[in-house]
Structure 1
Amino acid sequence: MWAFINKLRSPKWFYAISAKLQPFFWVAAAALILAGTVWGLAFAPADYQQGNSFRIIYVHVPAAFLAQSIFVSMAISGLVYMVWKIKVADMAATVMAPLGAAMTFVALFSGAVWGVPTWGTWWMWDARLTAMLILLFLYLGVIALRGAFTSRDSASRAASVLAMVGVINIPIIKYSVDWWYTLHQPATFTVTGRAAMPMEMWVPLLIMVLGFYSFFIALTLMRTRSEILRREGTKRWVQDLVTGQPEEKR
């Protein structure tokens, strides 16, 4: 583990290894999202209560899962940066925030669209809805802090602290349906119990979730590589990449 952490200290190593991993996750994301979309929209049966309106679940649930996971990843990256001063962790946290905010917005918007035929309204101050809205504000706060300081280190520290403090909102989102009366249904998937829907419905949902996570990893790798080039632009190895001249020949 420590050997891996030491490797992460090198932006050059991460830039090289991410180039090898990135194509795999792009292909996986495209294949999984295509398969899940076709299966979920064309072949999964309609819900016996909601009819075809339930199919928005194939976007809403993956987006909501990913929105929460990205914030947890940002908090972990912030902790790694604060404790071990690993710059790549801060770079990754920087590029994750806009995607996390986008996924939170998609989850809120798709949930609002789903709420019209299901609840008869676009919005209610439901516990989980409110916690998800707070999550969006947390993302926007992290993004704002990144641009509020002239010192990059100060901005990184402030954003990391907000992410580490704000991560307490994630279990609130997760367990709000158990702690309070809420319009949201309980979890579809549990570790110990059976899925709350037929297999022909939850399998494409699982495929979509995996596809969204593959997309997140691929995009994070790509944008972290760009962030590395931006921050490390004065380093010799980056200049070698730009000029296309091997380091040993310079």
Structure 2
Amino acid sequence: MKQVASFMDRVLPWLTCGLMLIALAFVFLYVPNERVQGPAQRIFYFHLPAAWNTFLGFFIVAGASAAFLWQGDRFSDLLAQAAAEVGMVFCTLVIITGSIWARPIWGVWWTWDPRLTMVVILWMIYAAYILLRLLAGDNELIARYAAVLGIIGVLDIPLLYIAVKLWRGIHPKVERMAPEMIWTLLICTAAFLGLFAWLIWLRLRSLTLR
């Protein structure tokens, strides 16, 4: 455990910062413009990793909530809360970057595309979970209600993909990418994943010290 704490405190922050700098260099200096969307497509390298972290956050919330309901483990409860708060940050980033991209491509900041709508619903579930968890305080019963919501909420993720299949939307699909784009996306994903893990670690440590 001490080795994990040492890595999270001393190595991960520097590793994440380094990856972020490399990611920025790749996005703005290395990768070519997409043929159709032009420079606006570059925000995709932030938008997609943020979306993946949003989903990962809720999977952690659901898993930790299930462990809390099963074993009554306080650490699992705190992990679920930390993952929800960090996940909501990334979910907000998904909505913001999506709107910035939509303005030059679609001509509007927002449209109620099925996939976009499901992301907003996911954001609201995150918000409801966090609010309920904050209201719970030391009340274990309300904390368990929040855990149930955390487990149910993860169902929005597969529903997001089902909605895309059932209703045609205008949200673009990721198609064949040039090698430079793939490398840029991979580096950005690694950088965002490092940031995600570091933020959860900081929040979890803060909650543990209360």
Residue 40 of structure 1 and its aligned partner are, at CA, apart by 1.1
Counterpart residue type for residue 178 of structure 1: K
- 8 Å Cα contact 1:67/1:101 also seen in 2: yes
Q: Which whole-Å CA distance do the structure 2 matches of 1:155 and 1:24 have between them?
A: 37
Q: How does 1:203-242 map to 2 (within 5 A)?
A: 203-230=183-210
Matched residue, 2:7: 21
4+ aligned runs moved over 4 Å, structure 1: none
Contact 1:39 1:204 in 2 (8 A): yes
* 1:243 alignment partner in structure 2: none
Task: Determine if the alignment matches structure 1 residue 102 to structure 2 residue 82.
Answer: no
Q: Return the index of the structure with the highest Cα Rg.
A: 1
Matched, 1:141 2:128: yes
Q: Distance in 1 between matches of 2:43 and 2:25?
A: 13
Partner of 2:151: 164
Shift of 1:175: 4.3
- The aligned counterpart of 1:173 is 160
Measured after TM superposition, the shift of residue 17 of structure 1 is 4.8
Query: Which deviates more, 81-90 or 131-140?
Result: 81-90
TM-score by length of 1: 0.78
1:162-184 Cα distance to aligned partner (Å, 9 max, x none): 01011110112234433321111
C-alpha displacement of 1:196: 2.0
Residues 201-230 of structure 1: per-residue CA shift (max 9 Å, x gap): 121111111111111112212221222121
**Are residue 90 (structure 1) and residue 80 (structure 2) matched?**
no
Percentage of matched positions with identical amino acids: 30
What is the root-mean-square deviation in Å for CA atoms of aligned residues? 1.6
Higher mean displacement: 132-141 or 210-219: 210-219
> 1:151, CA displacement in angstroms?
3.7
SS of the aligned residue for 2:17 comes to: helix
Q: Does 1:154 align with 2:134?
A: no
- Map 1:183-222; keep pairs closer than 5 Å: 183-186=170-173, 188=174, 196-222=176-202
SS at structure 2 position matched to 1:196? coil
Structure 1's 149 and 89: CA in aligned 2 closer, same or farther, altered over 3 A? closer
C-alpha distance in structure 2 between counterparts of 1:222 and 1:20, whole Å: 13
Which residues of structure 2 form unaligned runs of 5+? none
Residue in structure 2 matched with residue 46 of structure 1 by the alignment? 33
- Give the letter aligned to residue 210 of structure 1: A
Cα pair distance change 1:46/1:147, threshold 3 Å: same
